[in-house]
Structure 1
Amino acid sequence: MDILDMGAVAQSEALAAGSLTAVALMEASLARIEAVNGAVNAVVSLREREALLAEARAADVTPRRGWLHGIPMAIKDLSDAKGLPTTMGSPLFTGTVAQKDSVFVGRLRAAGAIFIGKTNTPEFGLGSHTFNPVHGATCNPYDLSKSAGGSSGGAAAALACGMVSVADGSDMMGSLRNPAGWNNVYGMRPSWGTVPGEPEGDMFLHQLATSGPMARSPRDLAALLDTMTGADPRQPFGISPAATLPQIDGQGPQVRIGWLGDWGGAFPYAEGIAALSEAALGQFADLGHVVSDIAAPFNAEKMWEAWITLRSFAVASGLGAIFENEAKRGHLKEAAQWEIRRGLEMTAMQVQRASVIRSDWYRRAAALFDTVDVLVLPSAQLWPFAVEEVHPVEIAGRSMDTYHRWMQVVVPAGLIGLPVVNVPAGFGENGLPGGLQLIGRHGSDAMLLRVAQHWHEATRWPQKRPPALG
């Protein structure tokens, strides 16, 4: 087996056994990047070859620091890795070099990862399509004329191409679920509070976004999540598991799966999305899981209004100072300016009402999980679109009234911080991949990983149909 086709855990085991060297793995990774990254544009700010090989040589002769010892990783360009640029896809931050690691990045470094560069992202992570004026667009490796999704599009495409074996992503509005689905890999949005953010600014009000792992198998997701997870004593709300995640194997639990369909007609789907999802659900049933249809459990429009209120409130909090600087405002893309303006114009009571709706939905979802173990929705409502498009303006004849309405299907889990594992669901007649969101109650991360690994052992989509590049 090509060492780049191995999973991260398998690479780690080979490195520990001495059957693989960090130098050989680095050389192979850099060769793959050289061969395909020019077309895909997933890895950006790549470090110099000789510096990376020097780190790999050092890894080969020093005691192992952790399971990631000697494994190349590229960090999403929204997070800080000391010594590497953090542009966030914005010309306002071109040339900005991180002076420290983000909290979870420091944990990856401590486990022995070698950071080779960054993965591409939309400007400030806004929009589920990875393009920006600093690094350009990331193309889908299954069709270079299509989007890789976003905002973790660079990470997902790099994984699909074998440039890295494991990657970090982040997710507010499907930012690692959508690109995982569109690139035939796995992505996990963990229960909110599992992976800490940064101990800066407000740490109480904005409970929407989280970082999480991406990989070509749930086994690797679990290993990376185990490294990223754990409360930071400088921050509230963190979850510190009493033990590491249980061993993930192919003997997953038999669970009750609830298919939410199109949420009672609220979510338009492009032709083929529902069919792909339902075919995958049939496979879940064949594996012994109990699959049933679930009627729309909550008013989708009320949920959407709560979502865009809280999202704009959060975006304005993070980017408001840039917007209010007239010299810098023009460097923000139109979608960012729209979000910030909405957030700045909100009253406190508008935010309160949105949070009450969010609370109502959480209570309803908690009751729903008394009858099912896993809720399922597609990862996206349409197939990867043309890379030149800014965002879709309609789905199945229904107009989209915002730049992100086309991703409404990811809101139910994201709004209330539920854990989600995206699993590859196969390919449409157009040859493009799609995925499913496996959604669990808060804290059920390990159960979702077991179910996903059971699925993986039966399907192995990333290994069965990798992209044909080079």
Structure 2
Amino acid sequence: MDPLSLSARDLAAALRHRRISAREVLEAHFARIDAVNPTVNAVVTQVREQAHAQALAADEHAAVTAPEDLPPMHGIPMTHKDTHATAGIRTTSGSPIFADLVPRDTDVVIERFQRAGVISTGKNNVPEFAAGSHTYNEVFGTTLNPYDLSRSAGGSSGGAAVTLATRIQPLADGSDMGGSLRNPAAFNNVVGFRASPGVVPNVPGRDPRAWLGQKGAMARSVEDVILAMSVIAGPDSRSPVWCPTLAGAFSSLLAEEVGRPLAGVRVAVTTDFGLDVPVEGEVAGVVLREAEVLAELGASVVPACPRLRDADRVFEATRAFDMALSLREVVAGHPGQVKDEVIWNVERGVALTAEDLMEVAVARGRLDQEIGRFFGTDGADPSGGGAKGGTGYDVLLAPTTQLVPFPAEWTWPQEVAGERMGTYVEWMRSATLISATGCPAISVPGGFTAAGLPVGLQFVGAPGRDVDLLRVARAYDEATRHAERAPAV
């Protein structure tokens, strides 16, 4: 049995029923890191001695425990995102300032994976302070795309996405403010899911009510993402944010048969988000081609998009505020040691006025109303007509990224589809516009360009309807299985 070829769900079953040991899986995990990591530079910290001790303990526990009494991810090894605190394991955030930091606390998303039986083996590369969607920093260098080693792996969960694509591990944790789960998933032919606010609590953190940045899961299939969500979702007493979807709802979804579930599902499809967002022609072509697959699965697919004219303002101001809250002291205390893009974002946050924040609050209210209209959660006709009794579009289908993976030596794309980009986040609008809505969104492999570069499809659902969104995304994923095409690394 090759454990690296198994899905997370199948690997968990094999471990629970002792068809393979946790030590054997761990050895294969580290052997794969040794084989591919010198080429792609995805894993930046390893704790092999600690992991081997945990694998031995896991096997000893399994020897005296019934399979059904073992935790759901018993013995599965995972490296974690280097911005997620891990007690006793170096967490650098890709910054020279914190190159030797070993936290005493652990982020809740990793706590929950560990409680479910995951063996933590190290950390994955990130951009400095997770700023931007290209994974490079002065501490560890650049992570490369395994489908084309001259290209970007995306970010900020770029290292995580590459560990999945190269079969180092079947699951990964990540986070997403402006696309940091979705963009690298698209660039690496894997799945990245950004849940509704509150589904995975943002604790510990400076602002437990923060809603724009969300922690989440990545995998090589939607089904394995659902498995991960069944472990990491749920409320936390430290978080004041309401959790709209409990872990049990994801467990129930895993038990459903896929079959042909899209009859009656209404899918809206857009390539420019109704705002003339520049998207490369080959990327847009893949989105339109794969929309036909959804129609073949029984969905009703029509061109449509919510009115997102307030989304840019909401995203830009909220991101600036959140980054200033988190990093202003670091920037002030370490002049010349933080990259320019982070300084720019922090300065924008510090410069926000009360009037700015009031205008953004009103804009967010309008955006919330528009999302309710579009998905029918406010009882209005999504086409703009009269009351519809709560019906509307079920899913919005759009590009995850506006372009294919770009050259790894770039800091960020200066141009997309012939249009100049003014900032390091502007080329990510296909993701940031959706972040501003608070909607759950998932990037699913949609196929490849003629040159063999991956393209991701972004499925978006109504806030709080994460399970309904994942049901549709899983049906598409099961029908196409694009992620089974592995890179040649």
- Normalising by structure 2, we get a TM-score of 0.92
SS of residue paired to 1:144:
strand
SS of residue paired to 1:403:
coil
Matched, 1:122 2:127: yes
Kindly indicate whether the alpha-carbon contact (under 8 Å) linking 2:400 and 2:457 is maintained by their aligned counterparts in 1.
Answer: yes
Q: Which moved further from structure 2: 184-193 or 257-266?
A: 257-266
- In the TM superposition, what is the alpha-carbon distance from 1:385 to its structure 2 partner? 0.5
Which position in structure 2 is the counterpart of 1:313?
Answer: 321
Which position in structure 2 is the counterpart of 1:101?
Answer: 106
Distance in 2, matches of 1:199 and 1:460, equals: 36
Which position in structure 1 is the counterpart of 2:384?
Answer: none
Q: Deviations over 1:189-220 (max 9, x none)?
A: 0111100112442333x320010110011111
CA distance 1:418–1:265, change in 2 (3 Å): closer
Q: 2:183 corresponds to which letter in structure 1?
A: N
Kindly indicate whether the alpha-carbon contact (under 8 Å) linking 1:232 and 1:238 is maintained by their aligned counterparts in 2.
Answer: no
- In the TM superposition, what is the alpha-carbon distance from 1:408 to its structure 2 partner? 0.5
- In the TM superposition, what is the alpha-carbon distance from 1:76 to its structure 2 partner? 0.4
Kindly indicate whether the alpha-carbon contact (under 8 Å) linking 2:313 and 2:363 is maintained by their aligned counterparts in 1.
Answer: no
Matched, 1:41 2:41: yes
Matched, 1:75 2:80: yes
CA root-mean-square deviation: 1.4
Kindly indicate whether the alpha-carbon contact (under 8 Å) linking 2:441 and 2:461 is maintained by their aligned counterparts in 1.
Answer: yes
Which position in structure 1 is the counterpart of 2:71?
Answer: 66
SS of residue paired to 2:281:
coil
Matched, 1:359 2:365: yes
Which position in structure 2 is the counterpart of 1:57?
Answer: 56
Which position in structure 2 is the counterpart of 1:141?
Answer: 146
Which position in structure 1 is the counterpart of 2:184?
Answer: 179
Q: Deviations over 1:376-435 (max 9, x none)?
A: 111100010011100001111111111110001112321122111111000011210011
Distance in 1, matches of 2:102 and 2:305, equals: 49
Q: Which moved further from structure 2: 138-147 or 412-421?
A: 412-421
Q: Which moved further from structure 2: 261-270 or 222-231?
A: 261-270
Distance in 2, matches of 1:296 and 1:418, equals: 12
Distance in 2, matches of 1:159 and 1:211, equals: 17
* Among candidates 220, 240, 243, match of residue 239 of structure 1: 243
- In the TM superposition, what is the alpha-carbon distance from 1:310 to its structure 2 partner? 1.5
Distance in 1, matches of 2:275 and 2:176, equals: 25
- In the TM superposition, what is the alpha-carbon distance from 1:32 to its structure 2 partner? 0.8
Q: Deviations over 1:98-142 (max 9, x none)?
A: 112111211111111100001111000000000011111110010
SS of residue paired to 1:61:
helix
SS of residue paired to 2:101:
coil
Distance in 1, matches of 2:440 and 2:457, equals: 13
CA distance 1:241–1:393, change in 2 (3 Å): closer
- In the TM superposition, what is the alpha-carbon distance from 1:286 to its structure 2 partner? 1.0
- In the TM superposition, what is the alpha-carbon distance from 1:93 to its structure 2 partner? 0.3
Q: Which moved further from structure 2: 216-225 or 261-270?
A: 261-270
Matched, 1:214 2:218: yes
Q: Deviations over 1:228-278 (max 9, x none)?
A: 111111221131645342233422343111012212352101230110111
Q: 1:286 corresponds to which letter in structure 2?
A: E
Instruction: Give the percent of matched residue pairs that are identical in Structure 1 and Structure 2.
Output: 39
CA distance 1:421–1:215, change in 2 (3 Å): same
Kindly indicate whether the alpha-carbon contact (under 8 Å) linking 2:306 and 2:371 is maintained by their aligned counterparts in 1.
Answer: no
Q: 1:287 corresponds to which letter in structure 2?
A: L
Alignment of 1:444-459 (within 5 A): 444-459=465-480
Kindly indicate whether the alpha-carbon contact (under 8 Å) linking 1:168 and 1:213 is maintained by their aligned counterparts in 2.
Answer: yes
- Any stretches of 5+ residues in structure 1 without a counterpart? none
- In the TM superposition, what is the alpha-carbon distance from 1:295 to its structure 2 partner? 4.8
CA distance 1:447–1:136, change in 2 (3 Å): same
* Among candidates 397, 409, 413, match of residue 392 of structure 1: 413
- In the TM superposition, what is the alpha-carbon distance from 1:4 to its structure 2 partner? 0.6
Kindly indicate whether the alpha-carbon contact (under 8 Å) linking 1:173 and 1:414 is maintained by their aligned counterparts in 2.
Answer: yes
Which position in structure 2 is the counterpart of 1:258?
Answer: 268
Alignment of 1:426-441 (within 5 A): 426-441=447-462
- In the TM superposition, what is the alpha-carbon distance from 1:355 to its structure 2 partner? 2.3
Kindly indicate whether the alpha-carbon contact (under 8 Å) linking 1:40 and 1:139 is maintained by their aligned counterparts in 2.
Answer: yes
CA distance 1:247–1:303, change in 2 (3 Å): closer
Distance in 1, matches of 2:200 and 2:404, equals: 30
Distance in 2, matches of 1:240 and 1:281, equals: 29
Q: 1:311 corresponds to which letter in structure 2?
A: R
Matched, 1:344 2:328: no
Q: 1:15 corresponds to which letter in structure 2?
A: L
Distance in 2, matches of 1:54 and 1:199, equals: 27
Q: Which moved further from structure 2: 361-370 or 51-60?
A: 51-60
SS of residue paired to 2:46:
coil
Distance in 2, matches of 1:360 and 1:31, equals: 52
- In the TM superposition, what is the alpha-carbon distance from 1:329 to its structure 2 partner? 2.4
- In the TM superposition, what is the alpha-carbon distance from 1:447 to its structure 2 partner? 1.3
SS of residue paired to 2:253:
coil
Distance in 2, matches of 1:9 and 1:298, equals: 37
SS of residue paired to 2:442:
strand
Kindly indicate whether the alpha-carbon contact (under 8 Å) linking 1:197 and 1:211 is maintained by their aligned counterparts in 2.
Answer: yes
CA distance 1:331–1:70, change in 2 (3 Å): same
Distance in 2, matches of 1:384 and 1:451, equals: 26
SS of residue paired to 1:351:
helix
* Among candidates 393, 397, 406, match of residue 427 of structure 2: 406
Distance in 1, matches of 2:71 and 2:181, equals: 25
Kindly indicate whether the alpha-carbon contact (under 8 Å) linking 1:307 and 1:354 is maintained by their aligned counterparts in 2.
Answer: no
Which position in structure 2 is the counterpart of 1:29?
Answer: 29
Kindly indicate whether the alpha-carbon contact (under 8 Å) linking 1:196 and 1:238 is maintained by their aligned counterparts in 2.
Answer: no
CA distance 1:315–1:452, change in 2 (3 Å): same
Distance in 2, matches of 1:264 and 1:420, equals: 18
Distance in 1, matches of 2:437 and 2:421, equals: 23
Distance in 1, matches of 2:437 and 2:5, equals: 36
CA distance 1:7–1:295, change in 2 (3 Å): closer
Which position in structure 2 is the counterpart of 1:467?
Answer: 487
CA distance 1:240–1:376, change in 2 (3 Å): closer
Distance in 2, matches of 1:44 and 1:330, equals: 24
Which position in structure 1 is the counterpart of 2:173?
Answer: 168
Distance in 2, matches of 1:51 and 1:74, equals: 13
Q: Which moved further from structure 2: 232-241 or 348-357?
A: 232-241
SS of residue paired to 1:212:
strand
Distance in 2, matches of 1:38 and 1:424, equals: 25
Distance in 2, matches of 1:76 and 1:439, equals: 24
Distance in 2, matches of 1:365 and 1:233, equals: 29
SS of residue paired to 1:146:
strand
Q: 2:13 corresponds to which letter in structure 1?
A: E
Q: 2:98 corresponds to which letter in structure 1?
A: F
Matched, 1:278 2:278: no
Which position in structure 1 is the counterpart of 2:389?
Answer: none
SS of residue paired to 1:329:
coil
